Amino acid sequence: MAKIRSPNYPSMSLGPALEAVRPAYEKEHRNKMARSVLAKHMGYSSLNGRALGKIGAVRAYGLIEGSGEELRISDDTVKALMAPAGSSERTEALGRLANRPQLFQELTKEFPNTLPSLDNLKYALIKRNFIPDAAEKAAKSYLATMNLVGGIQDEYNPPDDEEENSDMNEAQLAADAKRLLDTPVHLIKKPVQEVFNLPEGTVTITFPQRLSVESYQDMEDQLELLLRRVKRQIAKDDEAAN
């Protein structure tokens, strides 16, 4: 099954996402760069599953723009990173970036006056068909992001689980499957399913009916990594058989 990554549900809050792209800005400024180059600036030795996941997260906030091999740091990212703390230019840029994810836009409309408590926000997300663990992660990410915009010290920032770089493996595939299950039902619209038969069994690929150019590229990358993994496993099986 192809991984479904919703750009409306970033896997980290805005603060860590900005820090993730800071090295790329310091080394490239506004130059165009390939995804593999961006991944290296973000601390990955190759364009593996973890790197693609983090690129998807920073893209959800609009920190990078463009597609394919022509990515660059956005104007608002430069302002958020470089404008003086407390300046209107930085605050406005942070506000625009924070409200890029569709889910965050909806939560801001639901709680327009003050930020809700963590428990209140978790319940609001559970009513949107989030499972409890996913609701807590999304709630913490939202609160941390909005606290950053408001200049409040971040107490909700979820830890970064990506402590080491690795190629896609069984654990990564399991995490991808969990993220698919955690995706709110209302964000998945009439998925397309392609089925074809092989001598060894049936292969099924499911993906959203409508994809942005960026999401298509992400799906293509993940499928390429999966095919490479399957190819390596076939080679191991053949070697063991001989």
The burial class, CB within 10 Å (0-12 / 13-18 / 19+), for 173 is middle
Contact (Cβ atoms closer than 8 angstroms) between residue 139 and residue 13: no
With respect to residue 133, please indicate whether it lies within any of the assigned structural domains: no
And the tokens for 27?
């080394």
In a domain, residue 190? The reply is yes
Q: Is residue 215 part of a domain?
A: yes
Residue 161, pLDDT score = 45
Inside any domain, residue 66: yes
Q: How many helices (H) and strands (E) does the chain have?
A: 10, 4
pLDDT digits (tens, 9 = 90+) for 98-117: 999 888 999 999 998 888 99
CA separation for the pair 216, 222 (Å, rounded): 10
45: amino acid identity, one letter:
S
Number of domains forming the structure of the chain:
1
Tokens of 30: 């506004």
Q: What is the pLDDT of residue 177?
A: 45
What is the pLDDT confidence band of residue 208, given thresholds at 50, 70 and 90?
Answer: confident
> pLDDT band at residue 191, thresholds of 50, 70 and 90?
low
The SS3 call for residue 57 is helix
Q: For residue 108, how many other CB atoms are within 10 A of its CB?
A: 14
The DSSP secondary-structure symbol of 187 reads G
Let me know if residue 146 belongs to a domain: no
Structural domain range at position 40: 1-97+163-242
> Would you say residue 213 lies in a domain?
yes
Q: In terms of DSSP H, where are the helices of 83-131?
A: 88-98, 102-110, 118-126
Region 128-154 average pLDDT: 85
Extract the runs of DSSP E, i.e. beta strands, from 59-208: 64-67, 70-73, 192-198, 201-207
What is the DSSP annotation of 1-60? -PPP--TTS-SS-HHHHHHHHHHHHHHHTT--B-HHHHHHHTT-SSS-HHHHHHHHHHHH
- Coil, strand or helix at 69: coil
Residue 148: inside a domain = no
Identify the CA nearest to 146 among candidates 156, 137, 136: 156
Which token pair is 214?
Answer: 């960026």
pLDDT at 8 over 60: no
pTM for the complete prediction?
0.62
**126 part of a folded domain:** no
